[in-house]
Structure 1
């Protein structure tokens, strides 16, 4: 009968708005010429890596090892996972509100002594009184206060999962971007060393010619200046490599130190790949709305919308079933024990709140409107990020061919300048100019390659790619520590944890987790 009563109460009216997605019309069919130019929609039979694990398009085992290590140990990911567990416990608190609550329980033991004088006789005695009682109250959810609170906690739970997936997107992009920054800097260091060796030979030649009187000091000093200038860039690149390695260590949840993950494929050192398009499994407009941070913003709106209903329920009378059960007894011989039970309905209605409740409803509504604007802004910002990344990638791809040809031309110019100088048809300045141009073009070519990779990573990130991880929500050590400290029941059981990724098609605000609970989470 209790189950039937609970079902009837759940069917009572819910005050407050039912959440409706606040998507702008343009977002449903958004497209971009730039994005179309550098993306490819994969067919179901395509063996290209899924956008959830886009880093596999680089076919770099070093990078995959770094991503796996970050998934297991990154501090931001661990905190975001714990917030999912916290949100699940908060949902349990909301679910508990639907059931009767013990409002007060007490137990009393009273020792009494008495002395009575009757003429010349004095009588004394002692006895003990016992009392045990408790009161129960059950607020009936006529106006949907608890249903709305559960709805809000339910949406907040999915928002926490979305935020964890957004943390995965950010961490994966940061690891990949830092890794290729490291590789780009290694390539620039190699170029600087090669050009330093080339310029050192020129400096040594001019030094011999100056000593033999075949050239003036100007050629010597210019060659020395150029050589030392290139040599001075080497410590800068070495420092940048060390800083990039330190950044990777922190992303992997460890102090600065060795990175054995970089030794899986030693041949990748200083190698910067060029990939001309992102492989997607859906159209950009749908991917944009499925970005974890956009989904989180929508679930946060749903949670706040339900809080309006919680606030509005205070405008109406609160109906509760209350009852008390009291047992009392005494150690006196012949004293009776009593058991009293009292029960009935109780109505509470704050009629003279002086606008407190009404203004609280307004506060909750204003907060919802803020979240609506923030959500719409986040979608626009996501579209801008994707378009910017695609535009930058197009520019880098166009420059790659040009810079490659410029690099070849600079190499040929240096060869010709050396030949003409040795034959006495030009001064040494042309050789120096050719060396300087070659160094600049080689460096620009590598830097542009690094920019192309960074833009591709930004494009995948802007479209919400990279939220997949093969790691459990909590690592075994953290799980064991928490279970040792607190009774978590089944809340740490991931097999009973609905996934936010599977919740994309569900309208935010409609119950998902709460329907799976038959009682308060234990």
Structure 2
């Protein structure tokens, strides 16, 4: 081997190593897409709209928002759902799979090792002699990431793994909201069933009174039939409540990786007082912590990394290969005279111009779609929050009106009862006033459930608690 020949491979290694620093040139810097962000909330109470500059979005905690209800039983149910829910378990598996995929991408950036051992035996047919030979080799290969293809592929895999983790957090946020809603719906149905039972018992007493008066000839058969029809109608309505309880309990029980079964909760009434208030000065920027928004932006960055990797894949690729091995007719002399080889390979994929252009444009289209998805996800988050703020305010205002309507309906019912007993009005007028009172009770009860649901939706829209962390 001449002196110049002996320098070829080391010189090639030096050039390749120097070019390895060119990978950063292919990396596109990430800039968040242009967005139209509101300066404050359009809906909600004046306290909700106030946005003093002293409150920073980063200071708002993303903690267990459901604890604002101060319901230990609800806290235990949500903890149980986090521990046993199948959807959340599947989301965790998806995270682990994405992390493993990122591990594979990282492994591609490292040298690859290989080894082989062979034993062969030759026999001469002429003189019936034989010989055994042994050979072994250890190989290593390494693709030099000159243009950053492997690095950007690894970046994309890591961004996707991080986005998948945000998907898991979004699943947990949704699971907590679903559990809380089913919990309060159970309480609502329990209270509604109690109201239905009380009204049914009242209707039966009226029917008994009418029956006594009918036997005495004081009222007509029409009154007796109207009283009986009132009882049967309420019996039928009660059966619908029982069916709703079954469906709600089944929906709640399967959240805990269990078959459908009845659920027994201690609370039997919805809260009568005001729900926890949203702190004043809550910044609109707090929505950036929502896991679905974070996932959308991470996937946006992953798509950008994919574009860089695609472009780099059509540039020249250098691969280093080396081997160390030996061969011998005697096993003990296998490594007595080892042979080492080192090579440098070159691949020129950029010659496929049409394929290169189409592939890069496809990656760019994927990125553009991710930009649109990111914008839509963020704007939808603002819409969700605005809707929840509006619902929370309107439901609170409606509660006052419905309470006043119920008070008036109860007073009217008492007047009709007095007049019926005095013979001034017929039975149907009294029964109609009872129905009006029952409707007012149900409207108020349903509105209070909707207030709680609006509160749950608001916390879900905000991505967690709305309480600024203590300084």
Which among 60, 65, 75 is matched to residue 86 of structure 2? 75
Instruction: Write the mapping of 1:458-469 to structure 2, written as runs, cut at 5 A.
Output: 458-465=457-464
2:332 and 2:250 mapped to 1: Cα distance?
A: 82
380-389 or 124-133: which moved more?
124-133
Which among 92, 100, 105 is matched to residue 89 of structure 1? 100
User: SS of the residue aligned with 2:457?
Assistant: helix
1:439 matched residue in structure 2? 438
Aligned residues between the structures: 447
1:363 matched residue in structure 2? 362
User: SS of the residue aligned with 2:405?
Assistant: helix
2:122 matched residue in structure 1? 112
What per-residue deviation string (whole Å, max 9, x for no partner) do you get for residues 200-223 of structure 1?
Answer: 111111122222221112222222
2:333 and 2:402 mapped to 1: Cα distance?
A: 108
How far does residue 11 in structure 1 lie from its aligned partner after superposition? 6.5
1:242 matched residue in structure 2? 246
User: SS of the residue aligned with 2:26?
Assistant: coil
2:403 matched residue in structure 1? 404
Instruction: Write the mapping of 1:246-325 to structure 2, written as runs, cut at 5 A.
Output: 246-259=250-263, 262=265, 266=266, 268-279=267-278, 283-325=282-324
1:107 and 1:332 mapped to 2: Cα distance?
A: 11
How far does residue 257 in structure 1 lie from its aligned partner after superposition? 2.5
User: SS of the residue aligned with 1:24?
Assistant: coil
Which among 56, 60, 65 is matched to residue 54 of structure 1? 65
Q: Which runs of 5+ in 1 are unaligned?
A: 117-122, 468-522
How far does residue 442 in structure 1 lie from its aligned partner after superposition? 0.7
User: SS of the residue aligned with 1:139?
Assistant: strand
Structure in which a larger fraction of residues adopt helix = 2
What per-residue deviation string (whole Å, max 9, x for no partner) do you get for residues 33-77 of structure 1?
Answer: 326555899999xxxx96521211211121111111001101111
CA root-mean-square deviation = 2.9
1:199 matched residue in structure 2? 203
Correspondence 1:216 to 2:220: yes
Instruction: Write the mapping of 1:481-520 to structure 2, written as runs, cut at 5 A.
Output: none
2:454 matched residue in structure 1? 455
2:151 and 2:143 mapped to 1: Cα distance?
A: 12
Correspondence 1:32 to 2:36: no
135-144 or 335-344: which moved more?
335-344
Query: Contact 2:105–2:157 (CA<8 Å) still a contact in 1?
Result: yes
1:442 and 1:334 mapped to 2: Cα distance?
A: 98
- Label 1:335 to 1:100 Cα distance change in 2 as closer, same or farther (>3 A): closer
Q: Which runs of 5+ in 2 are unaligned?
A: 1-12, 467-471
Query: Contact 2:270–2:448 (CA<8 Å) still a contact in 1?
Result: no
User: SS of the residue aligned with 1:315?
Assistant: coil
- Label 1:51 to 1:112 Cα distance change in 2 as closer, same or farther (>3 A): closer
User: SS of the residue aligned with 1:34?
Assistant: coil
1:141 and 1:35 mapped to 2: Cα distance?
A: 57
2:160 matched residue in structure 1? 156
What per-residue deviation string (whole Å, max 9, x for no partner) do you get for residues 434-489 of structure 1?
Answer: 1111111111110111111111100111111169xxxxxxxxxxxxxxxxxxxxxx
Query: Contact 1:149–1:306 (CA<8 Å) still a contact in 2?
Result: yes
Q: TM-score, normalised by structure 1?
A: 0.79
- Label 1:164 to 1:195 Cα distance change in 2 as closer, same or farther (>3 A): same
Which among 95, 99, 111 is matched to residue 110 of structure 2? 99
Correspondence 1:343 to 2:342: yes
User: SS of the residue aligned with 1:107?
Assistant: strand
Query: Contact 1:292–1:464 (CA<8 Å) still a contact in 2?
Result: yes
1:436 and 1:12 mapped to 2: Cα distance?
A: 77
2:177 matched residue in structure 1? 173
Query: Contact 1:421–1:431 (CA<8 Å) still a contact in 2?
Result: yes
Query: Contact 1:138–1:320 (CA<8 Å) still a contact in 2?
Result: yes
2:140 matched residue in structure 1? 136
- Label 1:197 to 1:258 Cα distance change in 2 as closer, same or farther (>3 A): closer
196-205 or 107-116: which moved more?
107-116
1:100 and 1:444 mapped to 2: Cα distance?
A: 70
Query: Contact 2:48–2:280 (CA<8 Å) still a contact in 1?
Result: no
Query: Contact 1:273–1:453 (CA<8 Å) still a contact in 2?
Result: no
Which among 123, 129, 138 is matched to residue 125 of structure 1? 129
User: SS of the residue aligned with 1:136?
Assistant: strand
1:413 matched residue in structure 2? 412
How far does residue 425 in structure 1 lie from its aligned partner after superposition? 2.1
User: SS of the residue aligned with 2:338?
Assistant: strand
